[in-house]
Amino acid sequence: MKELLTHINSSLCERYSSRELETIVATLCLEYLEISQTIYYLKDKVELSSAKRQKLDIALQRLACGEPLQYVLGYTPFCGLQFKVNNSVLIPRPETAELVEWVLMSVKDNVKVIDIGTGSGCIAITLSHNLKNAVIDACDISDSALRLAVENNTLNGTNVNFSQRDILTDKEACTKYDVVVSNPPYITNSEKADMDDTVLDYEPHTALFVADSDPLLFYREIANFGKQNLNKDGMVFFEINPLFAEQTIIMLENAGYQNIELRKDIFGKNRMIKAVNL
């Protein structure tokens, strides 16, 4: 076991901090290689098969290049569920989990919800898992993202209706909703310089970035979708860019929404907004 740990650490120590390495090493050993906790923590002798050794070396090469651990593993936990992920979807993050929790605290079980820009399906599937009598729709412009979302729907035994939609051009809906929820692209291109290379090099830019000239593009279009397709007292929930919190509130007010509430995330940043269609 000590030889294995030395091999992993020496392969990755130049890229990752000691704290990051601790998490990566434990995850690779316990989950990726399926080494028992007893062997891992007692540092007992372990013999890897040639197949597992090759699997590990490929993973180490990918991690050494900066590929996120979640993509290497092929899955990540979110809100107590497991989600397949690859570079066609964003890796679900704690801030998004907070948004989901806010939705769950704000609705009844029999609501109709649409998740716009669903990606891996993490928002919609988590809502479906917790709201057994709800109707949950979800859409995305990306074929590859939708294929993965459908897999995650099956994996988690949920009942989300997925469809392909470009929200910038298609705002028609065949039903009225009680909730519109979205984590749309909100990082401006000028913010790229401050971002981690692992995000820039591996996560899908179409799900991340918006032009500096119109940072509220997707929020405005989704808000307009909500005005057309929300029931009275229906709600819009957004994950937002903290830099544009006030502008987003003003946009929602101008669109006719009321009872607008801004919330901070666990890091103290303005990250979520709820607005009501009265």
DSSP string across 21-50: HHHHHHHIIIIIS---HHHHHHT------H
Burial of 246 (0-12, 13-18, 19+ CB in 10 A): exposed
pLDDT above 90: residue 91: yes
pLDDT above 90: residue 77: yes
Phi, psi of 27 (to 5 degrees): -65, -45
Rounded Cα gap, residues 259 and 275, in angstroms: 6
Kindly state the average pLDDT of the residues 195-199: 91
Q: How many CA atoms lie within 13 A of 208 on its CB side?
A: 20
Q: Band the pLDDT of 5: cuts 50, 70, 90.
A: confident
| Alpha-carbon torsion, ordered 41, 47, 50, 54, to 10 deg | 20
Q: What angle do CA 217, 222, 223 make, to 5 degrees?
A: 100
User: Comparing 4 with 248, which gets the higher pLDDT?
Assistant: 248
pLDDT above 90: residue 2: no
Poorest-pLDDT segment among 31-45, 182-196, 203-217: 31-45
Does residue 182 contact residue 117 with C-beta atoms inside 8 Å?
yes
